[in-house]
Amino acid sequence: MHTTNEPSDTVDTTEPTASRLLKVAAALFREKGYVSSTTREIAARLGVQKATLYYYMEKKEDLLYAICLDSLVHLRREVELALSQQSTPLDRLRTLIRVHICTILFDQNLHLTMIREMRELVGERRREVQRLRDEYEELVRQSIAEAQAAGVLRPEPRAKYQGLALLNLLNWTATWYLPHGELTPEQISELFTEMFLEGALPRGGVLPPASLEKE
């Protein structure tokens, strides 16, 4: 599922400037936000002078645009590849949740920056990134709709609305995940798959007598 790249929180300082630039920018944008991150600080982390950046980009916004594209293209590619290897609608949905979570958490700086900062893009770039995101969300809704059509998910709420719930579950995770916290991305995937599919009520749906409830 992943390439051989190292995790997103480390940067090999022997790499050439070009290939380090986006990772350094994504890390900084994630820490301080796009607008508060200065070209001075990006240059400092790269160990070059400010002016050197402009050999690799025309303007600061180029970095954000490249990060957003990278994030969405990569996410879509990973998920579609994984889905193509699953045959049943329910396995496809489980796979979508797992690969989505693992992908955004593996490259957390990239995906969190895309989600939080894409609105700082202007004009056509903003629209293009928004369209890529809309298309990905449509893929999520389709996966739900297929499972409903196969009868393995409840027909109500409709796919569009179950999709809202699932996307809430998936998107917010990037904001609180800590790489060395108590849950691994795999465990978070299992947690959300279980909660999304089965809900929080006891299995069987039969409630115990009210007298057992706390006062």
By beta-carbon proximity to DNA, the closer residue of 14 and 87 is 14
By beta-carbon proximity to DNA, the closer residue of 67 and 82 is 67
Q: Pick the piece of the chain touching a copy of itself (CB under 8 A) from 50-58, 105-113, 124-132, 194-202.
A: 194-202
Is 166 within 8 Å of 96 (Cβ atoms)?
no
Q: Does 152 bind a copy of itself (CB under 8 A)?
A: yes
Single out the residue of 17, 142, 146, 184 in contact with a copy of itself (rule: CB under 8 A). 146
Q: Choose among DNA, a copy of itself, none what residue 85 binds, the Cβ cut-off being 5 to 8 Å by kind.
A: none
Q: Pick the piece of the chain touching DNA (CB under 7 A) from 22-30, 35-43, 83-91, 170-178.
A: 35-43
Is 103 within 8 Å of 75 (Cβ atoms)?
yes
Single out the residue of 11, 45, 61, 171 in contact with DNA (rule: CB under 7 A). 61
Q: Does 54 bind a copy of itself (CB under 8 A)?
A: no
In terms of Cα–Cα distance, which of 165, 82, 168, 69 is closest to 126? Answer: 69
In terms of Cα–Cα distance, which of 147, 169, 167 is closest to 88? Answer: 147
Which spans in 11-59 are helix H? 17-32, 39-46, 50-56
The sign of the dihedral angle between the CA atoms of 44, 178, 113, 18 is positive
